[in-house]
């Protein structure tokens, strides 16, 4: 759910912060790529499976708005738990049902996926029917729009041109982190999954992965997600690691595709890892402190303001205002080969 950076930092470090058990992610510390994906799978695997019929009651804890109504991410309807449970529907706001945001047909409607709360949400039945089992995507010319602005139409995100469903910006990060959870929870447990235009087994296809990584960055973790993560944990006794640690997505699937070959200097060190309010890039005096310049980007190439100071052999970068993620620090001096350094916040 999109919030301001200040609100994001408050929600992440304030009283609403997610509370995994002490040491919950210890075995994942320091890992990247497939090793991190496998370690997280070991941590959240074999969750307590609730029956499909039990989802209705679970929603009362996992998806309740502050006014007590159903928190529906597909519509702006005001549903009452129980009283407005589907049933039949003929238009929007008739009732809410159990939406598999990762459609059932993509995994063959088999347990435990078919009742895994982390990807199942209460949503308007009519809108859910419109979404069908279409992939998520971006739509410029919608053929249909829900009451909260969710859209159906042909995909405009590069890599796939078929029909997709686009949630509103407020929830794009929520769904991205939901999909990352599925790719980790069912890592190497997806041999018989039929897949979809968006997925191969439990893994996202390249176009979808790139889009979801962008959604994860553009729409940071919200209090809604944090509270839902805690509530689902009380039922399933596992967590969504990408709500507790949204930087894991880049550590597993992010690539430095924009970094020119030969510009990653293994002799340059960075500390602390992950960065806190600052990080130090020790370049051992390769760059002259009077002439070195610093550029800071994320791995998609988006540039950020780089507030830094330079000493004889190092550059100290202010990272206090950065959200969690993976960034590239580029040190440059005329006449010298630039150095690209990956940092984690």
Rounded to whole angstroms, the Cα distance separating 113 from 49 reads 9
Flag whether pLDDT at 4 surpasses 50. no
pLDDT for the residue 120:
98
Q: Tell me the helices (H) and strands (E) count for the chain, helix number first.
A: 9, 15
Flag whether pLDDT at 330 surpasses 80. yes
Q: Where are the beta strands (DSSP E) in the chain?
A: 96-100, 120-124, 144-145, 151-154, 163-166, 199-200, 203-204, 269-271, 278-282, 293-298, 303-304, 308-310, 314-318, 326-332, 339-344
pLDDT for the residue 174:
98
Task: Output DSSP code: residue 113.
Answer: G
Rounded to whole angstroms, the Cα distance separating 131 from 120 reads 14
Higher-confidence residue of 235 and 307: namely 235
pLDDT for the residue 306:
83
Beta partners for residue 145, in sequence order: 151
* Nearest CA-CA partner of 322 in 233, 240, 223, 217: 217
Confidence bin at 18 (pLDDT 50/70/90): low
Flag whether pLDDT at 127 surpasses 70. yes
Confidence bin at 341 (pLDDT 50/70/90): confident
Please give the full DSSP string across 12-63, using - where no structure is assigned: HHSTT---PPTTTTGGGTT--HHHHHHHHHHHH-SPPPPPGGGHHHHHHHHS
Q: 162 exposed, middle or buried (CB, 10 Å; 0-12, 13-18, 19+)?
A: exposed
Angle between helices 172-185 and 223-236 (to 10 degrees): 30
Residues 6+ apart with CB under 8 A from 92: 75, 77, 124, 126, 127, 146, 147
Rounded to whole angstroms, the Cα distance separating 113 from 107 reads 8
Residues 6+ apart with CB under 8 A from 218: 2, 169, 172, 173
Rounded to whole angstroms, the Cα distance separating 261 from 275 reads 25
Task: Identify the H or E element spanning 198.
Answer: none
Average pLDDT over residues 122-131: 98
Average pLDDT over residues 28-46: 94
Confidence bin at 298 (pLDDT 50/70/90): confident
Average pLDDT over residues 242-253: 92
Higher-confidence residue of 171 and 263: namely 171
pLDDT for the residue 62:
98
Q: Which domains does the chain have, with CATH numbers?
A: 5-253 (no CATH), 269-344 (2.60.40.1220)
Beta partners for residue 120, in sequence order: 100
Please give the mean pLDDT across all residues of the chain: 89
Q: Quickly count: other Cβ atoms within 10 Å of residue 149's Cβ.
A: 15
Confidence bin at 284 (pLDDT 50/70/90): confident
pLDDT for the residue 54:
97
Average pLDDT over residues 72-81: 98
Rounded to whole angstroms, the Cα distance separating 66 from 301 reads 38
CA distances for 170 relative to 3, 65, 119, angstroms: 8, 15, 17
């Amino acid at each position: 759910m999109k919030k301001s950076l200040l609100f994001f930092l408050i929600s992440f470090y304030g009283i609403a912060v997610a509370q995994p058990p002490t040491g919950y992610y210890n075995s994942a510390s320091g890992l990247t790529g497939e090793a991190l994906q496998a370690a997280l799978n070991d941590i959240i695997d074999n969750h307590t499976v609730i029956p499909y019929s039990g989802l209705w009651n679970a929603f009362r804890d996992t998806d309740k708005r502050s006014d007590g109504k159903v928190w529906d991410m597909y519509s702006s309807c005001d549903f009452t738990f129980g009283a407005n449970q589907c049933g039949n529907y003929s238009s929007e706001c008739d009732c809410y049902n159990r939406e598999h945001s990762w459609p059932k047909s993509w995994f063959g409607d088999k347990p435990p996926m078919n009742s895994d709360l982390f990807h199942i949400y209460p949503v308007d039945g009519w809108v859910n029917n419109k979404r069908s089992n279409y992939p998520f995507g971006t739509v410029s010319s919608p053929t249909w729009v829900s009451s909260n602005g969710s859209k159906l139409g042909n995909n405009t995100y590069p890599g796939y041109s078929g029909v997709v469903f686009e949630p509103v910006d407020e929830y794009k990060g929520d769904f991205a982190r939901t999909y990352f959870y599925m790719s980790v929870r069912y890592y190497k447990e997806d041999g018989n999954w039929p897949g979809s235009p968006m997925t191969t087994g439990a893994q996202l296809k390249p176009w979808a992965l790139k889009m979801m990584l962008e959604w994860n960055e553009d729409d940071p973790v919200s209090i809604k997600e944090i509270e839902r993560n805690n509530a689902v944990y009380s039922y399933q006794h596992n967590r969504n690691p990408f709500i507790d640690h949204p930087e894991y997505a880049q550590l597993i699937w992010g690539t430095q595709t924009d970094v020119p070959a030969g510009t990653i200097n293994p002799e340059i060190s960075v500390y602390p890892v992950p960065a806190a309010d600052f990080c130090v890039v020790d370049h051992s005096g390769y760059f002259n402190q009077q002439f070195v310049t610093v550029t800071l980007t994320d791995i998609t190439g988006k540039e950020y303001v780089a507030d830094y100071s330079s000493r004889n052999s190092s550059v100290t970068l202010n990272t206090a205002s950065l959200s969690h993620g993976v960034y590239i620090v580029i040190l440059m001096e005329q006449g010298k080969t630039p150095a690209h350094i990956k940092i984690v916040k």
